[in-house]
Amino acid sequence: MKGLSLPLPSMFVALCAAVVMFFGGAGFWLSLATLLVWLATLWLARPEPVVQTLNRDDGSVSRQAMIELVEPFGLPVLMLDGQRIAAANAAAREELGAHIVGQDARVALRHPEAIGLLENPQGRALVRGLTGARSIWQVSRVPIDERFSLIEMVNRTAEADISRAHTDFVANASHELRTPLASIIGYIETLADPDAKVDEATAAKFHATVLRESRRLQSLVEDLMSLSRIEAEKHEAPRDRIDLGQMVGSIGSEIAMNHGEDRLEIDTTEAVVTGDRQQLDQLVRNLIDNAFKYGDPSAPVKVKIGTRGNDAELIVIDKGEGIHPDHLPYLTRRFYRTDPGRSRAAGGTGLGLAIVKHIVERHRGKLDIASTQGVGTTVTVRIPLVARPAVLSA
């Protein structure tokens, strides 16, 4: 029978004892009676089946069945026997560790909000820092009966991070838009004031400032719209077949006309990728523009297109002051600047590298920024090459 555990060793001992009694002269019926009494005692003293039921009334649901039920869940789920963790599915073991099975739930979770939840038969709590310093979990307790209950854990960390990033973005964008607007309004109000008595030289200076701030505002709005479009399309795979080497050569020739041919060194080769032509054009221009803005004006900017393995490789090198290592992890954040004053003076919006990062991500590529102070900065972008069709041999 399933779930029935017979005490076979003890039964064998009882049988041997009966045989010894019979051959020792105790008689057949006395030996048989002794054997039956011994077996009856073993049967009455047998342990409860290993599989215990969660519902004693109908005995239809076993603990093992419940474990098998919660194991496939994608969310972490714990089954409690009172306050002790009787079972934990794979997701829960991954987050909290396999050692929690058998522990007191209050010891395993070790968090005031979670412990407060365990003191009630059911409820829900938002627990911060359960599996990491910034983790946020929604923990729910659902009773099964007076003895057993389930703990379900939902990870809300990503949602909180997205909400925090959205709040930070709105705050930073508002600040960046407000600064040039305040400058424009201030100068225009001064020029429009009939009592200000602004001379022609000062008026010309004010007009130049208004024009500069207006263009900065225009660049900022364009970059914000561009970033929004790229993020909206990031899950759509690009389809154009583009020779990145030819594109970089064309863009380089155009930029060299504005900055001087001695300021730009280009080395290109054929590198065909599947991409979005407008976005790749923007990526190349942003990287070269940054190299000119922050590189040494007396040293050339080097741009190289080649291939490495199955990737097209774009490298942009400038010889400049370089970037402190502390700044490198944050360069692709929106509105992040290593030197805000210099960046604004150079016409930067603080969104260039954020746009580059999102374009690279959409093209399933990789972005690497390496810099040495006093030497310069090297930006490397790798994008998968178009797979060439296999050549069939005769």
pLDDT in tens, 71-129: 777 788 888 888 888 888 888 888 888 888 888 888 777 777 777 777 777 778 787 87
Domain annotation covers residue 284: yes
Q: What is the three-class DSSP state of 232?
A: helix
140 and 212 in a single domain? The answer is: no
Domain count, the chain: 4
β-bridge pairing 136-143 and 240-243: unpaired
* DSSP state letters, 344-358: HHTT--S-HHHHHHH
pLDDT (tens digit per residue) in 238-297: 888 999 999 998 988 888 887 777 788 888 898 999 999 999 999 999 999 888 888 888
Domain annotation covers residue 344: yes
Distances, alpha carbon 343 to alpha carbons 38, 40, 294, in Å: 94, 92, 8
* Spatial separation of the C-alpha atoms in residues 266 and 156, rounded to whole Å: 48
Domain annotation covers residue 213: yes
Residue 95 near residue 76, CB atoms below 8 Å? yes
220 and 248 in a single domain? The answer is: no
Percent of the chain with pLDDT over 90: 15
Distances, alpha carbon 10 to alpha carbons 6, 42, 44, 277, 354, in Å: 9, 8, 13, 82, 75
177 and 144 in a single domain? The answer is: no
Sort residue 365 into left (φ over 0), alpha (ψ -120 to 50) or beta. Answer: beta
Q: What is the CATH classification number for the domain harbouring 100?
A: 3.30.450.20
Q: Which residues pair with 295 in a beta bridge?
A: 320
What pLDDT sits at residue 44?
A: 55
Q: Which residues pair with 307 in a beta bridge?
A: 312
What pLDDT sits at residue 76?
A: 86
Torsion over CA: 229, 234, 236, 239 (sign)? positive
What pLDDT sits at residue 38?
A: 64
Domain annotation covers residue 183: yes
With 0.85 as the threshold, say if the pTM is over it: no
Domain annotation covers residue 59: no
253 and 191 in a single domain? The answer is: no
What pLDDT sits at residue 137?
A: 83
pLDDT above 90 (res 316): yes
- pLDDT higher at 204 or 347: 204
Domain annotation covers residue 54: no
251 and 218 in a single domain? The answer is: no
* Spatial separation of the C-alpha atoms in residues 340 and 350, rounded to whole Å: 9
183 and 301 in a single domain? The answer is: no
Domain end, chosen from 192, 210, 232, is at: 232
Domain of 226 in residue numbering reads as: 166-232
Highest mean pLDDT among 25-39, 85-99, 300-314: 300-314
Q: Which tokens in the block code for residue 314?
A: 């774009």
Domain annotation covers residue 160: no
Sort residue 142 into left (φ over 0), alpha (ψ -120 to 50) or beta. Answer: beta
Residue with tokens 């009856």: 40
Confidence of residue 60 (pLDDT cuts 50, 70, 90): very low
220 and 125 in a single domain? The answer is: no
Beta-carbon contacts of 18 under 8 Å, excluding residues fewer than 6 positions away, are 31, 32, 34, 35, 38
304 and 353 in a single domain? The answer is: yes
Domain annotation covers residue 147: yes
pLDDT above 60 (res 50): no
